[in-house]
Structure 1
Amino acid sequence: MPRVLVAPDKFKGSLTATEVADAVARGLTAGRPDVAVSRLPVADGGDGTLAAALAAGYEAVPVTASGPTGEPVETAYARLGDVAVVEMADVSGLGRLPGGRFAPRTATSRGTGELVAAALAGGARRVVLGIGGSATTDGGAGLLQALGAQLLDADGAPVGPGGAGLERLARVDVGGVAAALCGAEVVVACDVDNPLTGPSGAAAVYGPQKGADPDDVAFLDGCLARLADAVAEATDHDLRDEPGAGAAGGVGFAALAVLGAQLRPGIDLLLDLLGFERLAAGADLVVVGEGSLDGQSLRGKAPVGVARRARTAGVPAVVAVCGRRELDDAALRAAGIDAAHALTDLEPDPDRCMTEAGPLLERLARRIAEERLPT
Structure 2
Amino acid sequence: MKIIISSDAWKTTLSSKEATRAIAKGLQSVDPTLEIVEFPIADGGEGTLDALMSATKGTYKHATVHDPLGRRVEAKYGVTGLSRHTCVIEMAQASGFSYVKKHEQNPRLASTFGTGELIRAALDEGHRNFILAIGSSATNDGGAGMLRALGLKFLDETGHEMSGDLLQLQKLDRLDNGEFDKRLQDCTFAVISDVQIPYLGPEGATRLYGETKGVRLEETADVEAALNRLADVIESHTGVRLHNRAGAGSGGGLGGAVQAFFPTKWYHGIDFVLKRSGWENALSGVTHVITGEGRLDQHTFLEGKGPHGVAKFAGDKGLPVTLFAGSADLNQSLEETKIFDEVIVLSKTEVELDQALSHPEIALQQAAARWYSAKLGQ
- TM-score, normalization by structure 2: 0.84
Are residues 1:340 and 2:343 paired? yes
Match of 2:307 among 303, 307, 310: 303
Query: In structure 2, what is the Cα distance between the partners aligned to 1:197 and 1:367?
Result: 45
1:288–1:111 CA distance, 2 compared to 1 (3 A) = same
Kindly state the Cα deviation for residue 137 of structure 1 after the two structures are TM-superposed: 2.8
Given the alignment, which residue of 185, 188, 192 partners 2:188? 185
Residue 95 of structure 1 is matched in structure 2 by 98
Assess, with a 3 A threshold, how the Cα gap between structure 1 residues 27 and 217 changes in structure 2: closer, same or farther.
closer
Q: Secondary structure at the match of 1:143?
A: helix
Change (3 A) 1:219 1:358: closer
> Deviations 1:320-370 (Å, cap 9, x if unpaired)?
22334546765433x1x222333359xx83333334543454444445556
Q: Cα deviations across residues 96-139 of structure 1 (Å, max 9, x unaligned)?
A: 34784222223221111111222233343432223323233322
Q: Greater CA deviation, 297-306 or 317-326?
A: 317-326
Q: Is the 8 A contact 1:103 1:211 kept in 2?
A: yes
Within the candidate set 250, 253, 256, 1:250 is matched to 253
1:290-369 to 2 correspondence within 5 Å? Answer: 290-300=293-303, 301-312=305-316, 314=317, 316-324=319-327, 326=330, 331-333=336-338, 335=339, 337-344=340-347, 349-366=352-369, 369=372
Superposed CA RMSD in Å reads: 3.2
Residues 137, 162 of structure 1: 8 Å contact kept: no
Distance 1:4 1:233, change over 3 A: same
Answer yes or no: is the 8 Å Cα contact 1:87–1:130 preserved in 2: yes
In 1, the alpha carbon distance for the partners of 2:98 and 2:12 equals 12
State the distance in 1 between where 2:23 and 2:281 align: 20
For residues 276 and 120 of structure 1, do their structure 2 counterparts lie closer, same or farther at Cα, with a shift above 3 Å needed?
farther
Q: Does 1:109 align with 2:98?
A: no
Q: Distance in 2 between matches of 1:45 and 1:232?
A: 26
Secondary structure of residue in 1 paired with 2:280: helix
For residues 127-138 of structure 1, what are the structure 2 equivalents within 5 Å?
A: 127-138=130-141
Matching residue's letter, 2:21: D
Structure 2 counterpart of 1:263: 266
Tell me how far apart the structure 2 counterparts of residues 99 and 318 of structure 1 sit (CA, whole Å). 33
SS, match of residue 276 in structure 1: coil
Q: How many residues align?
A: 369
Identity %: 34
172, 176, 180: which one pairs with 2:175?
A: 172
Cα offset, 1:191, TM superposition: 3.2
2:206 aligns to what?
203
Deviation at 1:196, TM superposition (A): 2.0
Corresponding residue number in structure 1 for 2:243: 240
The corresponding residue for 2:162 is 159
Shift of 1:62: 1.1
Q: 3-state DSSP class of the match of 1:7?
A: strand
| CA offset digits 1:204-242 (Å, max 9, x no partner) | 443333333455333332322222222222222323220
- Greater displacement, 297-306 / 12-21: 12-21
Rounded to whole Å, the distance in 2 between the matches of 1:322 and 1:297 is 10
Secondary structure, aligned partner of 1:349: helix
| Kept after mapping to 2: 8 A contact 1:192/1:247 | yes
2:38 maps to 39
The TM-score, its normalising length taken from structure 1, stands at 0.84
Does the 8 Å contact 2:105/2:214 carry over to 1?
yes
Q: Distance in 2 between matches of 1:352 and 1:60?
A: 35
- Structure-2 change in CA distance of 1:155 and 1:351 (3 Å): closer
Change (3 A) 1:96 1:201: same
Deviation at 1:176, TM superposition (A): 5.6
**Using the alignment, how far apart are the partners of 2:276 and 2:173 within structure 1?**
40
Instruction: Give the aligned partner of residue 281 of structure 2.
Output: 278
Deviation at 1:258, TM superposition (A): 1.3
Q: Which residue of 2 aligns with 1:231?
A: 234
Q: Which amino acid aligns with 1:63?
A: A
Provide Cα deviations, 1:141-161, integer angstroms capped at 9, x if missing partner: 221122233333334443221
Q: What is the rounded CA distance, in whole Å, between the counterparts of 1:305 and 1:28 in structure 2? A: 23
2:89 matches 1:86: yes
Q: Which runs of 5+ in 1 are unaligned?
A: none
CA distance in 1, matches of 2:298, 2:127: 37
| Corresponding residue of 1:25 | 24
Mark the runs of 5 or more structure 2 residues left unpaired by the alignment.
none
Q: 1:126 to 1:4 in 2, by over 3 A?
A: farther
Alignment-derived partner of residue 140 in structure 1: 143
Query: 2:46–2:92: 8 Å Cα contact kept in structure 1?
Result: yes
Deviation track 1:286-342 (CA, whole Å, cap 9, x = no partner) reads 111123334332224321211112233x25222222334546765433x1x222333
> How far did 1:33 drift?
4.0
Q: Secondary structure at the match of 1:251?
A: helix
Q: Is the 8 A contact 1:105 1:216 kept in 2?
A: no
Q: 1:40 to 1:122 in 2, by over 3 A?
A: farther
CA distance in 2 between partners of 1:320 and 1:203 (Å) = 29
Q: Is the 8 A contact 1:63 1:115 kept in 2?
A: yes
Q: Cα deviation per residue 1:223-267 (whole Å; 9 max; x = unaligned)?
A: 222222222222223232201222233211111111133333222
Q: 1:169 to 1:13 in 2, by over 3 A?
A: closer
Give the stretch that moved more between structures: 279-288 or 217-226.
217-226
1:151 touches 1:173 (CA, 8 Å); kept in 2? Answer: yes
Going from structure 1 to structure 2, the CA distance change for 1:199 and 1:7 (only over 3 Å counts) comes to closer
